[in-house]
């Protein structure tokens, strides 16, 4: 009996002592959901935890971006402190910005300057730096090197007109050669966020702006934008399959990777998928910057995607959380992630890093894409971004499906956006 009491006292003493000695804090980070992404995040945050004597718990989240947004909304609107660091999509700084702390307290100007400028300004909310870019995405053009060569082209198209002509010629040729399922160009035309990304690229490349400009003015109702959407509507059923109007990323990749398309617009993830061992097009394709319009205002455009790290305003340990964000977005971690998981770095210099080039030369090839990057207008439209985007993709989809004329649809869209804006964004 006496011995048992002793044991209990000793055990309690140990617990108390342990508590007194553990100085570090415990942080919860939501990053990744599956596979390499989750694994890398666990390894990296553990490395930071060991270095600093803190503890990090990785919270897994749903894989799809809209489900993740729903979860974050629930957590944040309930003012929960159970997640300190959120991995957020490129449109969330505008949507959820009021829930995150200003990181410029912890990041100086020189800390921020190595990041891609378009991303840094995307991650601002009412003048505050609410997130730090972590890894990227941008729309790119995939083209079949073997088919371009076969039909006498030495370079990928630089203008939409060239792309259309090349696609027509290759499509006609391949169909005559016995593949009736062959199409020139596949992209994302379903009525969803992906269409907003694709259509923003067309419009921006024609000099038609970004739907809503950074000052919050609605700019979508302009002739260049109408011209751009009309061009895309002309593709449907000619160089693009009619079903493109229901295609998301994976549907387009399904056509492309089976060898049934000459060109595809997609995100960089399709590169490693296309080069995988059992892919029919392995070694037969390359990527390029998306074409620009054939007009004087024409410019290349690539819609930005990707993920950022933000610290919740309800976090009990904001300083430590900011330090972990700093560590995860550091040069060495981004190089490691690029090499091990082919994640595109948010720091420009990493694209030229020798290790990265050696591991994945396509990452280096993507660098020019980011100099033409264009962000969706989520920073300007804030928590109304999803409404703006939904109205935009619905209007564009109507034109693509032949249910409306571009100039009328855009005039209607302008009215609708004005109503959503109300007294201000």
Partner 1 sequence: MQQTAIEAKRRRGGRGMSLERRRARTAWLFLAPSLIVILLVAGYPLFRTIQLSFTQTSLLQFPLKSHVVGFLNYKFLLQDSQWWHSVLNTVVFTVVSVGIETVLGLGIAMLVNAKFPGRGAMRTAMLIPWAIPTVVSAQMWRWMYNDVYGVINDIFMKLHLTDKAYAWLANPKLMMPAVISVDVWKTTPFMALLLLAGLQSIPGELYEAGRVDGANPWQNFVRVTLPLLRPALLVALIFRTLDALRVFDAIYVMTGTNPNTMSMAVYARQQLVDFGALGYGSAMSVGIFVIIGLFVVAYVVSLGVEVD
The footprint of partner 1 (CB under 8 A) covers 66, 69-70, 73, 76-77, 95-96, 98-99, 181, 183, 189-192, 241-247, 251, 254-255, 258, 260, 313, 383-384, 386-387, 390, 394, 397, 401, 403
123, 134 in Cβ contact below 8 A? Answer: no
Helical segments of 113-238, H only: 117-122, 145-150, 160-176, 193-205, 223-235
Q: Which C-beta is closer to partner 1: that of 247 or that of 263? A: 247
Q: Which C-beta is closer to partner 1: that of 171 or that of 353? A: 171
290, 205 in Cβ contact below 8 A? Answer: yes
Residue 402, phi-psi category: left (phi > 0), alpha (psi -120 to 50), beta (remainder): left
Measure the CA–CA gap between 163 and 146, rounded to whole angstroms.
16
Instruction: Classify 393 as helix, strand or coil.
Output: helix
Closest alpha carbon to 188 in 343, 408, 373, 396: 396
Q: How far is the CB of 411 from partner 1 (least distance, A)?
A: 17
Q: How far is the CB of 89 from partner 1 (least distance, A)?
A: 13
The CB-side HSE value for 352 (13 A sphere, CA atoms) comes to 4
Q: Which C-beta is closer to partner 1: that of 259 or that of 306? A: 259
Q: Which C-beta is closer to partner 1: that of 313 or that of 326? A: 313
Beta strands at 302-311 and 128-129: parallel, antiparallel or unpaired:
unpaired
Q: Which C-beta is closer to partner 1: that of 140 or that of 195? A: 195
Q: Which C-beta is closer to partner 1: that of 308 or that of 342? A: 308
Q: Which C-beta is closer to partner 1: that of 183 or that of 271? A: 183
Q: How far is the CB of 170 from partner 1 (least distance, A)?
A: 15
370, 90 in Cβ contact below 8 A? Answer: no
DSSP per-residue codes, 99-138: GB--GGGTS-HHHHTTB-HHHHHHTEETTEE--EEEEEEE
What contacts 268, CB < 8 A, 6 or more positions away?
Answer: 137, 138, 140, 287, 342, 344, 362, 366
Q: How far is the CB of 126 from partner 1 (least distance, A)?
A: 12
365, 71 in Cβ contact below 8 A? Answer: no
Q: How far is the CB of 105 from partner 1 (least distance, A)?
A: 18
Q: How far is the CB of 371 from partner 1 (least distance, A)?
A: 31
Q: How far is the CB of 204 from partner 1 (least distance, A)?
A: 24
Token duo for residue 277: 């061992």
Token duo for residue 301: 């455009």
Q: Which C-beta is closer to partner 1: that of 37 or that of 193? A: 193
Q: How far is the CB of 301 from partner 1 (least distance, A)?
A: 24
Q: Which C-beta is closer to partner 1: that of 68 or that of 364? A: 68
Q: Which residue do the tokens 């280096």 mark?
A: 364
Q: How far is the CB of 222 from partner 1 (least distance, A)?
A: 25
């Amino acid at each position: 009996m006496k011995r048992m009491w002793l044991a209990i006292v000793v055990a309690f003493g140990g617990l108390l002592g342990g508590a007194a000695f553990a100085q570090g804090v415990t942080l919860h980070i939501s990053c990744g959901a599956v596979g390499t992404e989750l694994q890398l995040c666990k390894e990296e945050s553990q490395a930071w935890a060991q270095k600093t004597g803190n503890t990090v718990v990785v919270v897994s989240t749903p894989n799809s971006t809209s489900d993740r947004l729903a979860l974050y909304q629930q957590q944040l609107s309930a003012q929960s402190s159970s997640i300190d660091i959120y991995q957020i999509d490129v449109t969330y700084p505008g949507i959820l910005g009021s829930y995150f702390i200003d990181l410029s307290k912890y990041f100086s100007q020189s800390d921020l300057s190595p990041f891609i400028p378009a991303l840094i300004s995307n991650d601002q909310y009412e003048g505050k730096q609410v997130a730090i870019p972590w890894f990227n995405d941008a729309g790119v053009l995939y083209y079949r090197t073997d088919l371009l060569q076969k039909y006498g082209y030495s370079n990928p198209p630089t203008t939409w007109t060239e792309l259309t002509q090349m696609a027509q010629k290759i499509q006609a040729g391949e169909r005559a050669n016995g593949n009736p399922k062959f199409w020139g160009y596949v992209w994302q035309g379903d009525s969803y966020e992906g269409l907003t990304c694709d259509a923003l690229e067309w419009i921006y490349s024609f000099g038609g702006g970004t739907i809503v400009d950074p000052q919050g003015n609605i700019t979508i109702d302009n002739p260049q934008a109408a011209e751009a959407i009309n061009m895309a509507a002309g593709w449907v059923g000619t160089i693009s399959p009619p079903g493109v109007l229901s295609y998301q990323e994976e549907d387009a990749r399904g056509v492309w990777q089976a060898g049934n398309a000459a060109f595809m617009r997609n995100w960089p993830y399709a590169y490693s998928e296309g080069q995988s061992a059992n892919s029919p097009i392995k070694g037969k394709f390359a990527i390029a910057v998306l074409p620009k319009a054939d007009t004087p205002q024409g410019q290349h455009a690539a819609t930005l995607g990707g993920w950022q790290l933000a610290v919740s305003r309800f976090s009990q340990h904001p300083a430590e959380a900011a330090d972990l964000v700093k560590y995860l977005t550091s040069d060495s971690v981004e190089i490691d992630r690029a090499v091990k998981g082919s994640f595109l770095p948010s720091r420009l210099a990493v694209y030229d890093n020798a290790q990265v080039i050696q591991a994945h030369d396509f990452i280096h090839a993507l660098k020019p894409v980011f100099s033409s990057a264009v962000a969706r207008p989520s920073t300007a439209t804030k928590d109304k971004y999803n409404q703006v985007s939904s109205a935009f993709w619905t209007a564009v989809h109507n034109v693509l499906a032949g249910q409306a004329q571009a100039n009328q649809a855009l005039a209607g869209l302008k009215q609708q956006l004005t109503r959503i804006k109300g007294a201000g964004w």
